[in-house]
A and B are shown apart, each in its own frame.
Chain A
Amino acid sequence: GESVGLHLPTLSVQEGDNSIINCAYSNSASDYFIWYKQESGKGPQFIIDIRSNMDKRQGQRVTVLLNKTVKHLSLQIAATQPGDSAVYFCADSSNTGKLIFGQGTTLQVKP
């Protein structure tokens, strides 16, 4: 079956450093991917998305890279801040509309 997974459950970085969170997916037909940030007690918050016809997309302090050959995507956060501390999920959108979520990576930012 389809699955989406993240490589590391926890990532600890120093404030000001760059963070890289990785995700692998299994469905070669997947054509749309989304990164969400979830803070404690809240719902997932949209960060950035990318379609399969792109390799890279940039937002404010965030960049998503997609490697379709190895079915891997990553989220890069520049100049990580304490407010970036949260759980990050990648999600794969099927053509039926439902999202398949990975297990999540907890980002801890050390001051």
Chain B
Amino acid sequence: NAGVMQNPRHLVRRRGQEARLRCSPMKGHSHVYWYRQLPEEGLKFMVYLQKENIIDESGMPKERFSAEFPKEGPSILRIQQVVRGDSAAYFCASSPRSQGHSNQPQHFGDGTRLSIL
């Protein structure tokens, strides 16, 4: 009964490179959420996706960041031209349906720690 799977667990990039973070939701879950966590802080919402649809991207920076959840395969969070300030832990969560409609908790993966040199 696999949980939310994220890879890689650790990712090191140099400034200006691209970072791709992957998330496979729990089996049967069709809703994916991405969050960012800085040290000593709570998680900050970035984006909410369903298969092939972005539902809410109000937490995504306007530039360099994008997310997708294709019909087949994992959800991808992509950060282009990374800068030092992108260093953080990025968490993915999934739920079987929209939390707002069913009040079902989101289940989280163990995150990707992104370090920018």
Contact residues on B (Cβ < 8 Å of other chain), bracket: 20 to 34
Query: Given A32-B99, A93-B103 in contact, is the A103-B108 Cβ separation under 8 Å?
Result: no
The answer to whether A96 has its CB under 8 Å from any CB of chain B is yes
Cα-based distance from A106 to B98 in the complex (angstroms):
30
Cα-based distance from A95 to B100 in the complex (angstroms):
4
Cα-based distance from A46 to B109 in the complex (angstroms):
11
Asked if B56 and A97 make an inter-chain contact with CB atoms under 8 angstroms apart, the answer reads yes
The answer to whether A94 has its CB under 8 Å from any CB of chain B is yes
The answer to whether A45 has its CB under 8 Å from any CB of chain B is yes
CB distance from B69 to the nearest CB of A (A): 14
Query: Given A97-B98, A101-B43, A103-B42 in contact, is the A43-B110 Cβ separation under 8 Å?
Result: yes
Q: Which residues does chain B contribute within 8 Å of A34, judged by CB atoms?
A: 105-106
Q: Which residues does chain B contribute within 8 Å of A100, judged by CB atoms?
A: 45
Query: Given A32-B99, A93-B100 in contact, is the A103-B43 Cβ separation under 8 Å?
Result: no
Query: Given A89-B42, A89-B43, A104-B42 in contact, is the A99-B110 Cβ separation under 8 Å?
Result: no
CB distance from A63 to the nearest CB of B (A): 17
Convert A39-58 into 0s and 1s, putting 1 for each residue whose CB lies closer than 8 angstroms to a CB of B: 00111111001010000000
Q: Which residues does chain B contribute within 8 Å of A45, judged by CB atoms?
A: 108
The answer to whether B73 has its CB under 8 Å from any CB of chain A is no
Q: Which residues does chain B contribute within 8 Å of A42, judged by CB atoms?
A: 110-111
Asked if A99 and B33 make an inter-chain contact with CB atoms under 8 angstroms apart, the answer reads yes
Q: Which residue of A lies closest to B3 (CB)?
A: A43
Tell me the B residues contacting A by CB distance below 8 Å. Answer: 4, 6, 31, 33, 35, 41-45, 48, 55-56, 58-59, 91, 93, 95, 98-100, 103, 105-111
Q: Which 3 A-B pairs have the closest CB atoms?
A: A101-B42, A43-B108, A95-B100
Given contacts A41-B110, A89-B42, 8 further A-B contacts (CB under 8 A): A34-B106, A42-B110, A43-B93, A44-B43, A49-B105, A93-B103, A98-B58, A101-B44
